[in-house]
Structure 1
Amino acid sequence: MENRCAWVGNEPIYISYHDEEWGVPEYDSRALWEKLILDGFQAGLSWITILKKRDNFRAAFAGFDPDVIAGWGETEVERLLQDAGIVRHRGKIEATIGNARAWQVIEAREGFDTFLWNYVDGKPLRNRFKTMAEVPAQTPLSVQISKDLKKAGFRFCGPTIVYAFMQAVGLVNDHEVGCECHDRVAKLAR
């Protein structure tokens, strides 16, 4: 691929992530939850740090099965705090357990995927930014989703984290218009 978003750089893991995952519409409830959790762990760090540890996170967090994680307590928190393969932050680990419980409620009520995709009427928002300098850190919609997630019991899901999440899971297409992925990703929407 010749034309990519400027943020990608030359790191192979970033190139792969950009070309194959970022902005691709995700409709699986569990996968959406995993990505939101990972974006929460990224707070204060670079995304590449999380990306390089993603497989370790998946192993440490039972494949990001929220039904398993919802039953965890202090024993698992202590185990995870000893795991050098992940970001060892007590608040983020405890939030993940609470977020699993909050996910269960939304999933049982309407489906976490439906809950999220309803914000965009089931169709990704398609921006037409020419440069990453034009891309906002948050939007009124990410503020609203953040508020609603927090009201539902989620933590580590502020408006900036939520906007990064929206970009990653294709709720919004923020590939630069000159990026070869911009049109390709748009065609993947349901």
Structure 2
Amino acid sequence: MTPRCLLLAAALLAMAGCAAPTHKPEAMQSAPAVGCSPPPPPAVPRPPEPEPEPVEEPLEAPRESLNPALQEALQYADHVRGADAPALAAEISSLDQAKDGPPERRLSLALALMHTRQPADTARALGLTQRVLEDGALAALHPLARLLEERLLQQRRLEEQLDRQSRQLREAQQRNEQLSERLEAMRTLERSLNAPR
């Protein structure tokens, strides 16, 4: 044999020895289990879907459904709310002179009086509002009158508290003035006693 043929035969043998077997021995092969399938993965519970939030209806009633007397009173309340002191005084004077006016005038006068910020006017406005609440013929104005009564009661409490605090402040100032006068008198006496003779 020629050296070339020997080299070729050695290469073929080397290639045949390195080739991996194409199948596993039967002992190593795992036979599929009969009637035994893997358990399915546990079902993951889905979180409950959030319920949509209820849409709140606006509390404000449409203008068309308001009672005309109530609507007029609300417009008047808005009118006097922005009035300056002279215009407010003229409005109150005009309402005071209309003694034979409609009973709704009492609520208008109360609305004007509440803006003067005077304790006497607050008390008068509260009395007028309570008269409107006692009048069954003015039932359409009762919701506004109840709201106004609550507002006036709160305003009167604040005015009384402010008056009490002002009185306490005046009394404290008077005590301070008296103490200052006594202190000054004592200093004068001390100076007179220490003066050379």
Q: Which has the higher contact order (CA 8 A, sep 6+)?
A: 1
Query: Which bin holds the TM-score, normalised by the shorter protein?
Result: under 0.3
Q: When you count helix as a share of all residues, which structure comes out higher?
A: 2
TM-score in terms of structure 1 length: 0.25
Larger Rg: 2
Question: Could you tell me the TM-score, scaled by structure 2's length?
Answer: 0.24
